[in-house]
Amino acid sequence: MGFLKYIREEAEVIKERDPAIKSSMEVLLYPSFRVMLSYRRAHKLYRKGHYFLARYISQRAARKTGIEIHPGAQIGRGFFIDHGSGVIIGETAEVGDNVTLYQGVTLGGTGKETGKRHPTIGDNVMISAGAKIIGSFTVGENSKIGAGSVVIEEVPPNCTVVGVPGRIVKRDNVKQPWRDLDQCHLPDPVLDDITVLQHENVELTNRLLELERTVRLLKRQETTEPVNASEE
């Protein structure tokens, strides 16, 4: 891909996914755009064995944008970071095409692995703000990771994951994430459990009240029966 074609493609991706962008010139100021230009340069140098220069470029970009992408990471086309402050992508991370990340996302390692230490992210995945994906496993294509989730094990394709640790709460959700970037209205398993407990508590309370009424009626009958017998 030529440089100008790459610039146009990156600009279109940013304008499509961020409604705050009002003109093509604004794209030049966008942290995601600037850091990806630096990453592509650094990645080429890294693959050629120029490790220090590659790291120098990536660290300069991290200081300017708040987004730290190791030059050894492999990132596909259509990659988008919304805002981006605090995003960290490790050396052996692999990111597919059309992936969207929000601020504070970490694609990191556990610190106990060697070789492939960071996650592999499939195509069309959305990772919401503050999510942490830790370890050398795969997040399947078309999946969503909820805000603040901590994912420590493999995620099948077409799933929605929320919570700490992350739990799968929806499967076969095949909507394309770059057309469905709602990172707030995701299933909440904790709220579902609380709702179930509330319903059960109401049912138990009603049954208890019913039993108390029955006991009171029985007591009344026990006290009135001897009186009636004496009157006879």
Both 17 and 120 in a single domain? Answer: yes
pLDDT band, very low/low/confident/very high, at 178 (cuts 50, 70, 90): very low
- Mean pLDDT for 86-103 is 93
Q: Looking at the 3D structure of the chain, how many domains does it have?
A: 2
- Shared domain for 28 and 74, answered yes or no, is yes
Mean predicted confidence (pLDDT) in 177-206: 72
Q: Which residue has the higher pLDDT, 4 or 150?
A: 150
Does residue 181 have a pLDDT over 90? Answer: no
pLDDT at 227 over 80: no
- Regarding whether 103 and 157 lie in a shared domain, the answer is yes
Instruction: Tell me which of 176 and 101 has the higher pLDDT.
Output: 101
Per-residue pLDDT band at 217 (split at 50, 70, 90): confident
Let me know whether 142 and 199 are in one domain.
Answer: no
Given this model, what pLDDT does residue 28 score?
82
174/115 Cα distance (integer angstroms): 32
- For 62-92, how does the pLDDT look when each residue is reduced to its tens digit (9 = 90+)? 999 999 999 999 999 889 898 888 999 999 9
Nearest Cα to Cα of residue 144 among 164, 117, 172, 103: 172
Tokens of 169: 């709460």
Same domain, yes or no: 123 and 54: yes
Question: Is residue 106 located within the same domain as residue 177?
Answer: yes
Task: Please say if the pLDDT value at position 169 is more than 90.
Answer: no
Residues 119 and 223 in one domain: no
* pLDDT at 177 (0 to 100): 46
Residue 75 is predicted with a pLDDT of: 94
Mean pLDDT of the chain: 84
Co-location of 221 and 115 in the same domain: no
Per the structure, the complete domain to which residue 109 belongs is given by 3-185
Higher pLDDT, 29 or 121: 121
CA-CA-CA-CA torsion sign (191, 196, 199, 204): negative
The pLDDT of residue 173 is above 80: no
CA nearest to 84, candidates 145, 53, 119, 127 = 127
Per cent of the chain over pLDDT 90 is 46
Q: How confident is the model at residue 52 (pLDDT cuts 50, 70, 90)?
A: very high
CA distance linking residue 120 with residue 135, whole number of Å: 9
Predicted pLDDT at 226: 59
pLDDT above 90: residue 228: no
Cβ atoms of 114 and 94 closer than 8 Å = no
Instruction: State whether 217 and 113 are in the same domain.
Output: no
pLDDT value, residue 114: 81
Q: Tell me: the pLDDT tens digits for 111-136?
A: 877 889 999 999 999 999 999 999 99
pLDDT 10s digits, 31-41: 888 899 899 99
pTM of the model: 0.71
DSSP letter assigned to residue 153: S
The C-alpha atoms of residue 49 and residue 54 are separated, in whole angstroms, by 9
Q: What is the CATH number of the domain that holds 19?
A: 2.160.10.10
